[in-house]
Amino acid sequence: MVAQITTVPSSTALRLGQVFATVDAACCPKRINLHLHTVYSDGRMRPEEVIDQAIALGVEHISITDHHTVDGYLLAQKYLSSCTAQTKPILWAGVEINASLLFTEVHLLGYGFDPHHKAMRPYLQSKTTAGVDYQAVSVTQAIHQAGGLVVLAHPARYRRRPAELITAAVPLGIDGVETYYGYENHDPWRPSSHQSEQIHALGQKFGLFHSCGTDSHGFKITRRL
């Protein structure tokens, strides 16, 4: 078992934890959407378009989780601060990072971290890391050192079963799992019931946060493609 490095959660991580505590199957995508991509990785929308759609839909909490970069998040943050809409979403820092877990490539979502923290530098270079940096334990520790929380993205999309991966990730210090995810890419979006029930049970077993997101790569934040 890999020893977990204990870090004191940042005030941002504590507030984000309170958001995770409210997540259920009905939250996404109209109230909470914590998995979105822009043109800064493999999405089709500009960050400003993501913000505009979130405002129009009345979404309360969003996160731009581009692969290995926060450039889209930083631009969205700047744009959101200049918006004059009466009601605006809370935008959380986010990133999606490739990592090795049980000799399987998985995606780890980092949330609420300081994007300028030195621990995050290897993971914000717009490319997958290698060697020690590529290990899930290293990614998890870096996000925690930067004051953030770690969530295993779409646990039922990998070649190993969710139970195997989540069980292995818990000793590394993972904080949550992306419980509600639309594996069939329905339009309108809805979480896949069988997988969500399975992952919810695993999250409850290990005391993990539950997260949700559309994993949007297209022109609508309300669906994946």
Parse the chain into domains and list their residue ranges.
11-212
How many Å apart are CA 65 and CA 71, to the nearest integer? 10
11-212 homologous superfamily: Metal-dependent hydrolases (3.20.20.140)
Mean of pLDDT values over 189-196: 96
* Predicted TM-score (pTM) of this structure: 0.95
* Percent helix, percent strand, percent coil in the chain, to nearest 5: 35, 20, 45
pLDDT of residue 10: 87
Structure tokens at 217: 């790569």
State pLDDT tens for residues 37-88: 999 999 999 999 999 999 999 999 999 999 999 999 999 999 999 999 999 9
CB atoms within 10 A of CB 18: 8
Lowest-pLDDT choice from 1-15, 85-99, 110-124: 1-15
